[in-house]
Structure 1
C-alpha cells in the first residue's frame, strides 16, 4: 500500500478555507477514486499548514488529473503552496482510528538507503513501546526506500498525551540512531480534522 502526503503551506487567516475545501468537495473525489484506501486530514492552524494523507493500492492512482486539480484548488483556497511526497506504508501499530481533535505528530526520518531494512526492523520492534503510553491511538511508518527518508506518524487522544509521551519518543529516536544509523530532523505537530484509514499492514 502507498501513501501520498500532500502538504499545503498556506496563510493563517485562510487555512480554514483550505480545510473546508478538502472536507466539503475534495474528500468525496479522493474516496471515490479507483484504488483509494482512505484519507486523513490534519492542520496546524497557527502555522497555516494543512496535511492530507491519501492511501492507495498503487502509487500511480493518486496522480490522476482530477485529483491533481483537487489538490491545487485546496492549496489556492488556503492561499499557499503545495508540496507532495510519496511513500510506502511500511508499518502500522495500534488502532489507526481517532476522533477529530486528536493530536498528530509527524517525525521526519532519514537513513542511508542501504540501512532502510535495519531501520524498519528496529521500528517494528520499537513501536509497541508506545502502546504503554496513555492516550496512544495509533502509529505508522511511511518510507521512501530509494531516498532513505520517511515519516513516523503517531496519533494521540490529545496534546497532553503527546507531550507526556515525549520522553518515550526521544528514547526511541536515540536508540534508532545508535542501532540503525537513523536521523530525526524534526517533528511537526498537527490536530486531526478527519480520518478514514485502511486496515493494518506490515
Structure 2
C-alpha cells in the first residue's frame, strides 16, 4: 500500500472552504479512481496548515493518478490560499480500532527498518494501552530516510493527556533509528474515508 500526502500552508480563514472542497469535490473524485483506497484531511485551524492524504493499492496506481489529480491539488491550493508540498510514501504500519477527532503527526529521520521494528514491537503495545487511543500508522519515504507516524485520538483532551508518554515513545524511536525528530504537529481530523487494511 502507498500514500500521497499534500501539505498546504493555507490561511486559517480558508479552512472551512477547504473542508467543503474535500467533501464535495476531491473525495468523490478520488472514489472514482481505480486503485484509490480513500482520503483523509487533517487541519490546524490556528496556523492554516492542512494535510490531505490519499491511499493507493500499489505504487503503479498512485503514479498513474498523478497527472489526473494535479489540477485538483492546484484547486485545493487556491482555495486554502497558500503553497503546497507533495510527498509519496509506503504504508508500513496501519492499525485502527476506530476514527477519532484529532491526530498527532511526527516526522522522524533515520534508519527506517529500525524505526519500523521499534514502532511495531515497542510503541504499538504502549499506544493501545493509552486512554483515548484510536489508531496509528507509519509511512516511509525510503529515498529521504523519513518516517511519518500518525496517531488518532478520541478527543483533543485525550491527545493532550498523552503528550508526555508519546514524547518518550517518539524519542525512543528516534534513538533506535539513529536519527532525529524533524517535527511534531497536532491537527483536527476533518475528513476520514480511508480503507487501508490492517498492516500491523
Fold equivalence (TM over 0.5) = yes
Number of equivalences: 196
Normalised by the length of structure 2, the TM-score is 0.91
1:21 aligns with 21
Q: Which consecutive residues of structure 2, in runs of 5 or more, have no partner in the other structure?
A: none
1:34-72 CA distance string (max 9 Å, x none):
110111112111111221110001234344323111111
1:142 aligns with 139
How far does residue 177 in structure 1 lie from its aligned partner after superposition?
Answer: 3.3
Q: Is the partner of 1:199 in helix, strand or coil?
A: coil
For residues 31 and 20 of structure 2, the distance between their equivalents in structure 1, rounded to whole angstroms, comes to 16
For residues 116 and 64 of structure 1, the distance between their equivalents in structure 2, rounded to whole angstroms, comes to 25
2:114 aligns with 118
How far does residue 22 in structure 1 lie from its aligned partner after superposition?
Answer: 1.5
How far does residue 122 in structure 1 lie from its aligned partner after superposition?
Answer: 1.1
Q: Is the partner of 1:33 in helix, strand or coil?
A: coil
Q: CA RMSD in A?
A: 1.5
1:110-134 CA distance string (max 9 Å, x none):
00xxx32122111111222101111
2:153 aligns with 156
CA contact (8 A) 1:98 1:195 kept: yes
Q: Is the partner of 1:186 in helix, strand or coil?
A: strand
- Relative distance call for 1:170 and 1:65 in structure 2 (3 A) is same
For residues 27 and 82 of structure 2, the distance between their equivalents in structure 1, rounded to whole angstroms, comes to 19
For residues 54 and 80 of structure 2, the distance between their equivalents in structure 1, rounded to whole angstroms, comes to 19
In the alignment, does 2:184 pair up with 1:182?
no
Q: Is the partner of 2:128 in helix, strand or coil?
A: helix
Q: Which consecutive residues of structure 1, in runs of 5 or more, have no partner in the other structure?
A: none
Q: Is the partner of 1:185 in helix, strand or coil?
A: strand
Normalised by the length of structure 1, the TM-score is 0.91
